[in-house]
Amino acid sequence: MEDYSGILMMFAFLLLLVAGVVVYAVLNLYLRLRREARQREDSSPVGFVVDTFQGLVAQLKEKERELEQLRQAAEARADITEEYNENILQSVHSGVVSMDGNWSIVKVNAAAKSMLGLEEDAFEGRDGREVLSPIISGPKAGQAPVERVMRGERAYTTGAGKRLWLGYSLTPLMDKEGLEIGHTLVFTDLTELRALEAQSALRARLSSLGEMAAGIAHELRNSMGAISGYMRLLEKRSDPESAGTLHKVSAEVAVMDRIVSDFLSFARPGESKLDDLDLVFLARECVEAFVPEDGPVKVEVAVEAPEDVRVRADEVLLRQMFANLIQNALHATSDGGKVTIAVSSEGEKAVLRISDTGHGMDPAIIDRIFDPFFTTKDKGTGLGLAIVHRIVTSLGGTVDVASSPDGTTFTLTFSAS
C-alpha cells in the first residue's frame, strides 16, 4: 500500500505541475493579446491618417499616369495636324510666304522658292519687303503701313534674269481670337497665261491687218509689174548714160516687189501641206543655204541636236521660218559672235532654240517684236518676225523670246510626230 500511495502522490504532483504550466501559458497569452489590442486601439487614428494619405498618393499617381497618356496623345495629334498642314502648304502650286508683325519672314513653301529662284538662306528671318520687292512695295518700319491687296498683278525679275508676271494677294494673318499677328503673301505665276493672252490678241490684230495688207499688196504688185515692164523697154531704147539710172530704178522696183512678197506671205500664207519632217536635217540644210561662207565678219554657226527629231509641218513654211530667224541672229552678231541652233525632244514636244551672242534687245521692245511693221533695222520691213509668229501658230506651235545683254534666244515648240 505504501508503494502505491507514493506513486499516486508523485502522479498528483506532476498533474498539478502541468496544470500550473498550462494556466501560466494561457494567462501569459491572454495578457499579450490584451497588450497588443490596447496598442492597436491607441494607434488607430494615426493609422487611419497614414492609410488615407497612402490612398490619396496612389490615386494621384494614377491620375498622373492618365494625364501623361492624355498629354502624349494630344502631342501626337498636334504633330499629325502640323505635319498634315505642312504637307498641304508644301504641295500647293501657289507661292505662300508668311511674315510676323515686323515683316520678318517666318515660313516659305516650296512653290515660292521655286518660282522666285531664291535659296533657303535668302528668306529666313529677313524683311519680306526687301526680299520680295517689288511684289511687296511699301515703306519701311516707322512709316505708313503697306497697302493690303486682295487681287493684284506685278512684274517680277528673278536673280537669274527670268521675267515673271505674278498675280498676288497680301492679307493680314489673324490668330483664333481675330487679332492681327502678321502678314500672308500668296502669289501665282501668270506668265504663261499672259503670254497666251498676248498671242491671242496679236493673232487677232495680225488677222485683221493681214486681210487689209493682202488687198493693198495685190494692187501694188500689179502696178509694179507694169512699171517693171516699161523699165525694161526704156533700158533697151536708152543711151548708155541713162542706162545706169534706169538700172537703179529697176533695182528699187525689185526691192519693192520683195516687200510686197513679204506682205503677201504674211497676209495669205496659203494652205499648209503637212509632211513628216526631220527638224534636225532641215535645220542643217537651212544653215548651209542661208549662212554666207565668206562674210565681212566671221560668225560661228553650230547645230546642236540628236540624230532625229520629227515634226508634222509644212516644209516650205519651216524653211521660211528658219530663213527669218537665222537672218535675225546673223544681224545681231554682225560684229562677230556665235549662233547656236539646238533641237531637242521634250516629252511629246519638239523644241527648237535659236540663240545668238549678240547685243540683245531692249526689254521695252520685246513685247512688240512680233507686231507687223515694227523694226529696229535701218532697212527692215518689220514683217520677218511677224511671219515667223504666224507660221509657228498656224502649225499649232508656240514661240517665246528671252533676251539679255549677252544675247537672245528664240524658243519654238511644236508637237512631235
What are the tens digits of pLDDT across the range 93-126?
788 888 888 888 888 888 888 888 777 666 777 8
**Confidence label for 294 from pLDDT (cuts 50, 70 and 90):** low
C-alpha cell at 14: 506532476
Q: How far is CA 278 from CA 281, 311, 315, 394, in A?
A: 5, 7, 10, 19
Strands 95-100 and 105-108: antiparallel
Cβ within 8 Å of residue 145, ≥6 positions away: 138, 139
Please tell me the number of Cα atoms within 13 Å of 333 on its side-chain side: 25
CA 375 to chain CA centroid, nearest Å:
33
Please tell me the number of Cα atoms within 13 Å of 193 on its side-chain side: 7
Which stretch, 142-151, 188-197, 307-316, has highest mean pLDDT?
A: 307-316
- pLDDT confidence of residue 120: 64
Q: In the chain, pLDDT over 90 holds for what percent of residues?
A: 6
Residue 99 near residue 185 (C-beta atoms within 8 A): yes
Angle at 399 between CA 396 and CA 403, to 5 degrees: 175
Locate cell 504637307: which residue?
A: 87
Which stretch, 162-176, 193-207, 266-280, 396-410, has highest mean pLDDT?
A: 396-410
- pLDDT confidence of residue 375: 74
72-97 mean pLDDT: 72
**Confidence label for 347 from pLDDT (cuts 50, 70 and 90):** confident
259-282 mean pLDDT: 74
Residue 283 near residue 322 (C-beta atoms within 8 A): yes
Which stretch, 167-181, 249-263, 333-347, has highest mean pLDDT?
A: 333-347
Distance CA 303, CA 400 (A): 19
Locate cell 509644212: which residue?
A: 314
Residue 81 near residue 98 (C-beta atoms within 8 A): no
- pLDDT confidence of residue 6: 59
pTM equals 0.47
- pLDDT confidence of residue 21: 61
Residue 170 near residue 148 (C-beta atoms within 8 A): yes
Angle (deg, nearest 10), helices 191-237 and 240-267: 150
Residue 185 near residue 211 (C-beta atoms within 8 A): no
Residue 145, preceding bond cis, omega within 30 degrees? Answer: no
- pLDDT for residue 139 is more than 50: no
Distance CA 367, CA 296 (A): 31
- pLDDT confidence of residue 307: 74
CA 246 to chain CA centroid, nearest Å:
62
Angle at 239 between CA 236 and CA 244, to 5 degrees: 85
- pLDDT confidence of residue 144: 44
Comparing CA positions, the residue from 363, 365, 280 lying closest to residue 322 is 280
- Average pLDDT score, the chain: 76
Comparing CA positions, the residue from 326, 251, 318 lying closest to residue 295 is 326
Q: Report which of residues 40 and 73 the model is more confident about.
A: 73
- pLDDT confidence of residue 49: 52
Q: How far is CA 97 from CA 82, 135, 336, in A?
A: 17, 12, 46
Cα torsion 286, 290, 292, 297 to 10°: value is -100
- pLDDT confidence of residue 355: 93
**Confidence label for 339 from pLDDT (cuts 50, 70 and 90):** very high
Segment among 39-43, 285-289, 396-400 with least mean pLDDT? 39-43
User: Which residues, listed in sequence order, are joined to residue 164 by a DSSP beta bridge?
Assistant: 156
Q: Report which of residues 263 and 98 the model is more confident about.
A: 98
- pLDDT confidence of residue 1: 45
**Confidence label for 66 from pLDDT (cuts 50, 70 and 90):** confident
Distance CA 67, CA 181 (A): 32
Distance CA 21, CA 84 (A): 87
C-alpha cell at 374: 515694227
